[in-house]
């Protein structure tokens, strides 16, 4: 389900948030399905339960999970979450293109490289 990359510079909880968001958006974790308990997921990933709790709190804050007191955490999904992630990726791409322009690489050149990469993956 979740594979952590200990070479990644991001904190572990952010990696967990990112992986769970992708699983929710892709429909692997179905709407209204119960999430593993904090303790069981922490044991499965061999990390501190506080790290999972922090990830679950962030996912709830951003609308990917909801909590029912005494019952656990459950998956929320609606199209707005998908659109929000799409906008986030678009913003990251725009930032990258702007940074490339700042060092003299044209947008067209960057986009052409991206297209070449897509063709190479076929």
Summarize pLDDT for 20-78 with one digit per residue, the tens.
Answer: 998 998 888 999 999 999 999 999 999 999 999 999 999 999 999 999 999 999 999 77
pLDDT at position 26 is: 83
pTM over 0.85: no
* Tokens representing residue 118 in the block: 């897509």
Closest of 42, 44, 24, 45 to residue 33, by C-alpha: 24
Separation CA 87–CA 16 (nearest Å): 20
CB of 116 closer than 8 Å to CB of 108: no
* Tokens representing residue 52 in the block: 């999972």
Q: CA dist 68 to 22, 25, 52, 75, 108, Å? A: 22, 21, 17, 11, 49
């Amino acid at each position: 389900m979740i594979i952590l990359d200990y070479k990644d510079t991001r904190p572990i909880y952010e990696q967990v948030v990112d992986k769970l968001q992708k699983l929710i958006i892709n429909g692997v974790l179905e709407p209204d399905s119960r999430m593993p308990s904090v303790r069981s997921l922490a044991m499965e990933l061999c990390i501190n339960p506080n790290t999972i709790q922090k990830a679950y709190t962030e996912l709830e804050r951003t609308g990917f999970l909801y909590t029912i007191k005494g019952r656990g955490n459950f998956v929320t999904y609606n199209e707005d979450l998908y659109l929000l992630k799409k906008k986030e990726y678009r913003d990251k791409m725009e930032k990258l293109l702007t940074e490339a322009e700042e060092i003299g690489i044209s947008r067209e050149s960057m986009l052409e490289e991206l297209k070449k990469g897509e063709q190479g993956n076929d």
